[in-house]
């Protein structure tokens, strides 16, 4: 499992509000290119974001599905990009003593051909991407 974290200088409810707005997904998730639809009950367990991943014209249409949610503290997703595979992503929000939020993003490739890559190669691919995703999430949450 690849884990990155970032402190965001707003309270967890502000960060979670961005996560709970599925239409912002392509704004902070590196690689997500277009949101086609967000289930009306997002981010409840089982709800999905229908997205495109990758640059046009080779983008792949797929979905991300909520596996677990605890308002203002946890969002766990299965993010799919078939035929490449899918990943389990866990975002954990922890309030800090200065009124901000420590956001931890853990990702594990769980299905498909990319899931058989050795851990160091997965880390080399995922850690920079997820670090940038958290930077984008921070920008949206801070300036919303």
Model's pTM, two decimal places? 0.93
Domain count, the chain: 1
SS3 117: coil
Residue with tokens 């309270």: 11
pLDDT at 121 over 90: no
Instruction: Dump pLDDT digits (tens) for 51-103.
Output: 998 888 888 899 999 999 999 999 999 998 877 788 999 999 999 999 999 99
Please state, in angstroms and as integers, the Cα–Cα distance from residue 44 to each residue in 23, 66, 84, 92, 106, following that order: 15, 7, 26, 16, 20
Instruction: Determine the pLDDT at residue 4.
Output: 98
Instruction: Determine the pLDDT at residue 123.
Output: 87
- For residue 34, give the CATH number of its domain: 3.30.530.20
Instruction: Dump pLDDT digits (tens) for 124-137.
Output: 889 999 999 999 99
Instruction: Determine the pLDDT at residue 122.
Output: 85
Domain containing 138: what range?
A: 2-143
Confidence band (pLDDT; 50, 70, 90) for 38? very high
Residues 115 and 141: their CA atoms lie apart, in Å, by: 31
Mean pLDDT rounded to a whole number for the chain: 93
Instruction: Determine the pLDDT at residue 137.
Output: 98
Instruction: Determine the pLDDT at residue 57.
Output: 83
């Amino acid at each position: 499992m690849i884990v990155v974290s970032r402190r965001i200088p707003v309270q967890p409810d502000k960060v979670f509000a961005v996560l709970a707005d599925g239409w912002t997904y392509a704004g902070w998730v590196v690689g997500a290119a277009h949101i086609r639809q967000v289930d009306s009950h997002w981010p409840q367990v089982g709800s999905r974001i229908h997205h495109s991943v990758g640059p046009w014209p080779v983008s792949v249409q797929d979905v991300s599905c909520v596996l677990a949610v605890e308002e203002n503290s946890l969002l766990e997703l299965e993010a799919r990009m078939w035929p490449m595979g899918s990943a389990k992503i866990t975002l954990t929000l922890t309030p800090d003593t200065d009124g901000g939020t420590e956001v931890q993003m853990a990702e594990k490739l769980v299905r498909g051909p990319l899931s058989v890559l050795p851990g160091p190669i997965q880390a080399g691919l995922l850690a920079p991407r997820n670090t940038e995703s958290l930077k984008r999430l921070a920008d949206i949450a801070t300036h919303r």
